[in-house]
Amino acid sequence: MTRAVAHRTPEAAVSARDLTRRFDGFTAVDSISFSVARGEVFGFLGANGAGKTTAIKMLTGLLAPTSGEARTAGYDVATDPEAVKRRVGYMSQRFALYDDLSVRENVRFYGGVYGLSDKAIADRMGEALLRLGIEHLAGERVGRLPLGWKQKLAFSVALLHEPEVVFLDEPTSGVDPVTRRQFWEMIYATAELGTTVFVTTHYLDESEYCNRVSIMVAGKIAALGTPAELKAKFDADAMDDVFVRLARPAKEAQAQKAAETRRTE
């Protein structure tokens, strides 16, 4: 049996064209199209249930599209999902490291998962812990670290294998304002090195830090552009206002539909 060869293309770091995913008649992601440049910080916004998580699962090769196409790090997510997975980093909304393992043990574990050599793991762990200023905590159990340190460590682990694209799902949720600012400094430093950062957040002020932003509503991309462009387009003073103007009608329509369903039952 011969192993299929992944075919890479040199275009944008992430791109989608009419990307769609349906579940038993329900359309979670409805024909979305966009592209993200290499080294860009791209905000992927939307209310709960808007389709963000499903879209990210497709873009990271974890879920096959129903129709349409997408490429991440130059590889087709449907035909070369394993090639995609090897070239992306992912930090989940829920803390993904193991609380009962030490910092050092977590890094070694994930380095092994990423297929790094022992030397590469040791070198990159040393660099990451020094950069975070927690080299003295290498033997500390992760569960005993403050949330902010956990989040920054999780981001560093997601970058351990030097991915071309890193997906961050609400990375600053629950942390204090100072840590949020430090986290975004880490994001900028990562992008400056050429890694594309694809980030979701419920803190609308953070969307102002992105190069460009998309806003999903009911499975579709309702708006796409720089924060300045979107505020000008919707005559808004802040991204919060843009988001509310787009998301509120969809929420009201859902509530009305639910009420009508209850009346007919």
Is residue 227 within 8 A of residue 42, CB to CB? The reply is: no
For residues 115, 119, 121 and 122, what is the CA-based torsion angle, rounded to 10 degrees?
Answer: 170
Is pLDDT of 83 > 80? yes
Over residues 58-64, the mean pLDDT reads 96
Is pLDDT of 3 > 60? no
DSSP string, 124-161: HHHHHHHHHT-GGGTTSBGGGS-HHHHHHHHHHHHTTT
What does residue 77 show for φ and ψ, rounded to 5 degrees? -70, -20
Q: How far apart are CA 155 and CA 140, in angstroms?
A: 18
Q: What is the pLDDT of residues 25-37, one digit of tens each?
A: 899 999 999 999 9
Q: Where are the domains of the chain?
A: 1-87+163-226, 98-156
Is residue 167 within 8 A of residue 90, CB to CB? The reply is: yes
CA distances in angstroms from 2 to 5, 9, listed in the order given? 9, 22
Is pLDDT of 18 > 80? yes
User: pTM for the full model?
Assistant: 0.86
Is residue 197 within 8 A of residue 40, CB to CB? The reply is: yes
pLDDT band at 215 (very low <50, low <70, confident <90, very high): very high
| Residue with tokens 């924060």, as numbered in its chain | 227
Please state which of the four CATH numbers 1.10.600.10, 3.30.70.20, 2.60.40.420, 3.40.50.300 is assigned to the domain occupying 1-87+163-226. Answer: 3.40.50.300
The rounded Cα 78 to chain-centroid distance in angstroms is: 19
Q: Which of 144-153, 228-237, 241-250 has the lowest mean pLDDT?
A: 241-250
SS3 call for 167:
strand
Is pLDDT of 245 > 80? yes
| Residue with tokens 């709960």, as numbered in its chain | 48
Q: What is the pLDDT of residues 107-155, one digit of tens each?
A: 999 999 999 999 999 999 999 999 999 999 999 999 999 988 999 999 9
Helix axes 118-132, 103-113, angle to 10 degrees: 130
Q: Residue 224 belongs to what H/E stretch?
A: strand 220-225
pLDDT band at 253 (very low <50, low <70, confident <90, very high): very low
For residue 127 the two structure tokens come to: 């660099």
Over residues 40-51, the mean pLDDT reads 92
Q: How far apart are CA 200 and CA 198, in angstroms?
A: 7
CA distances in angstroms from 196 to 3, 38, 175, listed in the order given? 29, 5, 23
Q: How far apart are CA 149 and CA 144, in angstroms?
A: 10
